Amino acid sequence: MPGFFADGLGAHRTVDGQERRMRDPYAYTELLCDLHPVGTPRGCADRLLATAERTGIRRFALLTEGSGDRAATLENIARLGAEVLPQLG
């Protein structure tokens, strides 16, 4: 992901044309992984359960990786439904 972020963040321009400092793509990748349920199905479920407990949130809008490969994206969605969501009880 850091390479993807280096290209993507590097392409951003401010509306007013002012200079801005680009985020470090490695640190940004780490931040996103720390904030979001990324990892094993059990780890993802645990992260969602902990968030629900801390915040009172009971409904989540979940996104999955879109790899550019339709079959891989559909497999990610199927795994989320089959391996993560049932653990949320």
Across 2-11, 12-21, 35-44, 76-85, least confident range: 2-11
Residue 55 to residues 32, 50, 58, 59, 86, Cα–Cα distance (Å):
19, 9, 9, 11, 20
pLDDT at residue 78 tops 90: yes
Tokens representing residue 24 in the block? 């470090």
**pTM over cut 0.85:** no
CA gap 59, 54 in Å, rounded: 13
CA gap 80, 17 in Å, rounded: 41
